[in-house]
Amino acid sequence: MSLDLIPQPRSVSPQPGTFTVASATVIAATGDATGPAWLLHDALRAGSGMAVPVVPHSESAAITLRLTGDGHQDFPSTTAERYRLNVTEDAVTIEAPHPAGLVRAVQTIRQLLPADTLRAAPVLGRPIELPCVSIDDEPRFGWRGVMLDVARHFQPKEFLLRLIDLAALHQLNVVHLHLTDDQGWRLEVPGWPRLTEVGSWRSETVLGHANSGLGFDGTPHGGYYTAADLKEVVAYAAARYITVVPEIDLPGHVRSVLAAYPELGNTGSAHPVATTFGIFPEVLAPSDEALQFARDVFDVVTEIFDSPYVHIGGDECPRTEWLASPRAKARADELDLGSTDRLQSWFTASFADHLRSKGRRVIGWDEILEDGGAPADAVISVWREFATASKALAAGHDVIVAPQKAVYLDWYPSDQPDEPLHIHGHLPLETISEFDPAPADPADDETEHVRPLGDAAEGLGASRGRVFGVQAQLWTEYLPTPRQVEYAAFPRLAAVADMAWSGMNSRRDHPIADRLPGHLSRLGALGVNYRPLSGPHPWQQGGTGPRARFDSR
């Protein structure tokens, strides 16, 4: 019998029989196992209607969650997420060295339950059964992420919570929020009120694709999160052992900042928040004011987010304005950089110093390796060419594998002409399911491969960097609403999750194509607007209006 689990666990032995969740069933857990136990309680309560109590000890039919380690494993790390799940006709036993592993096992149970149990209210009308099975599981990578761009199109807080829950269901452990960009600034920063007053909205948005020449929609678009909103998101994720990594994209992609505070730019002239998409020449001036601005923002960010990592962006930062600015050139000379092009490297180092003083490490897109490079402890999100990963590793950087050709879910999911508007490219599910994020990695043989992410200080001075893991990107230029994001994300994100958790041998032995049909019934029960395997439903197609497919390259 196939259990259609995604991701595929390391070892699964199905047994005959089932465990029935009955009125006498209890969940036994104590101490740090209690949080994961309540997650299981909530999952059962919603979809089965049964309030299975969490109790410290039990003599009767029980689901037991037990911590086996000393609880001191670092999280996130692959060791922290190991778990054993044993379902017999009489009992369900979950053991893990860390509560994170218990939570992963709870997610596996959510997948083992009938798909209808994932609904918000019971519809099943029959006993809730779990197939007997014994599972021994551990992820290949300690960083399994998904990035959501909430800057190009603001995404409501409720959707962040839903995405976190969907990430949890797929055993992902990082949700990266791209909080700022040319088209909008999405978080409150005390002392800089115009960031939200001015920078959080734009007057209108280009219709269709930026290159399709259809004009603008004339409709203001915007929104931002309060500190309380973001703390709620962080806490919701933390209960699921998911780290929310914030990104503040600097020193490029700052049109929303400069609309609010033109004095932070190189020309002082005011530009509105961008209403179209692409790469803009406007970047921060290499001034003390701009550095102070960044520090103030990072101070707020580190107060809200407990992630050991803060993403500083760093992508697509044109040098045009600096090269044309006598002040920028003078600053580069004063700093003895040897070249104006190195100003970005100076920004990166300054941000990293400030964040390091707060016990955090920076992550940047792979452009931060250029023109002077990045501090040794900077983690690189490799997004352009996969080959950059080896260069970054050789230079001693830890790496998050995120190449556009393999994990950019804003690319078209197929060649079909009826696909709704996406940015460009072609990224079918098959490409994802074949991609190996670390081909030369000894982890591939599925033996011991513990590579903890560790704390902020670890990795300093390492001669060769480590592959932290894999991350999918959901850029939202052309995915304006949660439904459109869901279409782009699913089921391809399930294939990314499989890639991030399971070793290559396991993925080859259990092709995801065999497990997806079963898994789609889970997404269906959750009301996810996924793309059917054969192509879009008529109502998901691009049609002939502004949402029509447009291939600009």
Catalytic center residues:
181, 253, 316
Residue 551 as a binder of ligand TNX (CB under 6 A): the answer is no
Q: CB-wise, 94 or 310, nearer to ligand TNX?
A: 310
Please state, in angstroms and rounded to a whole number, the distance separating the CA atoms of residues 114 and 19: 12
What phi-psi label fits residue 397: left (phi over 0), alpha (psi between -120 and 50 degrees) or beta?
Answer: beta
**Residue span 416-445 as binding mask against ligand TNX, x where in contact by CB under 6 A, dash where not:** -------x----------------------
Going by their DSSP bridges, the two strands 91-96 and 128-137 should be labelled as unpaired
Of 408, 435, 487, 550, the one binding ligand TNX by CB under 6 A = 408
* Helices marked H in 408-546: 429-434, 482-489, 492-501, 504-509, 512-525
Residue 182 as a binder of ligand TNX (CB under 6 A): the answer is no
Residue 315 as a binder of ligand TNX (CB under 6 A): the answer is yes
Smallest distance from ligand TNX to CB 480, Å: 13
Smallest distance from ligand TNX to CB 534, Å: 25
467, burial (CB in 10 Å: exposed 0-12, middle 13-18, buried 19+): buried
Q: Which two tokens stand for residue 54?
A: 């969490």
Please state, in angstroms and rounded to a whole number, the distance separating the CA atoms of residues 462 and 329: 34
Nearest Cα neighbor of 533 from 427, 414, 425 is 414
Residue 19 as a binder of ligand TNX (CB under 6 A): the answer is no
CB neighbours of 99 closer than 8 A, spacing ≥ 6? 32, 33, 35, 36, 67, 71, 241
Of 299, 306, 316, 341, the one binding ligand TNX by CB under 6 A = 316
Size of the site for ligand TNX (CB under 6 A): 9
Smallest distance from ligand TNX to CB 60, Å: 53
Contacts of ligand TNX in 462-521 (CB under 6 A): 475, 477
Residue 550 as a binder of ligand TNX (CB under 6 A): the answer is no
Residue 412 as a binder of ligand TNX (CB under 6 A): the answer is no
Cβ atoms of 188 and 196 closer than 8 Å? yes
Smallest distance from ligand TNX to CB 181, Å: 7
Smallest distance from ligand TNX to CB 147, Å: 9
Q: CB-wise, 298 or 408, nearer to ligand TNX?
A: 408
Residue 192 as a binder of ligand TNX (CB under 6 A): the answer is no
Residue 410 as a binder of ligand TNX (CB under 6 A): the answer is yes
Q: Which two tokens stand for residue 70?
A: 């000393």
SS (H, E, C) 228-279: HHHHHHHHHHHHCCCEEEEECCCCCCCHHHHHHCHHHECCCCCCCCCCCCCC
User: What DSSP element (H or E) covers 160?
Assistant: helix 157-169
Of 141, 224, 261, 383, the one binding ligand TNX by CB under 6 A = 383
DSSP state of 324: H
Of 365, 412, 478, 501, the one binding ligand TNX by CB under 6 A = 365
Residue 224 as a binder of ligand TNX (CB under 6 A): the answer is no
Q: CB-wise, 224 or 411, nearer to ligand TNX?
A: 411
Interface residues toward ligand TNX, by CB under 6 A: 315-316, 365, 383, 408, 410, 423, 475, 477
